[in-house]
Amino acid sequence: MYIARARYGPPVGILVPIGAVLAVAAAAFALLRSPAAARRTPEGQAGLERAVGAVDRELAADLELMAMFDQTKQAFVLENGQFLASRDVIEREAPDAYAFVADVFERIPATEAAMERRGPAGSIAEADLQLIHAWEGDAREAQRALRATLTPSRATRWDALAARLRARFASR
């Protein structure tokens, strides 16, 4: 069998497999460099911006009430109406942040109850104060998480793959 050769190069028959391997490698590289999460539609981004703005303002108002509680030790009713109205959009467009934010809002009744409980001479039990301050800190973290969802993630599929591999081998 005769393999044609270029005048001073490798056999022509080997160039096709090398080209195919290079094409597959380039495609794999492009795939790994692509964003890990799908981009939002303009309508989805606009809806998320409105929802995050409303919930962020609501959390800011709740945190202001918590500051007043710290000063006066008077119980307040915390707001959650904007979150209830916006929860579907946040869950659909930012599912990673949604779970934490939903947990913060689900803990509002327990936090309000802790603010209302009084001991001797109007004192507040240490466990109740810890619960109140934990909610306050988590509410601030929820604000940061919501604001972070507005900027598109720069994480690539390579970053996601590397994180999964690190988690898998770290558990061994």
**Residue pLDDT, tens place only, 71-111:** 988 889 999 999 999 999 999 988 889 999 999 999 999 99
CA 105 to chain centre: 16
Best CA proximity match to 62, nearest among 27, 26, 23, 107: 107
Question: What does the chain come to in residues?
Answer: 172
The b/e string for 145-168 (b: 16+ C-beta within 10 A; e otherwise) is: bbeebeeeeeebeeeeeeeeeeee
Rg from Cα positions in the chain = 27
Average pLDDT over residues 11-19: 73
Does the model's pTM come out above 0.75? no
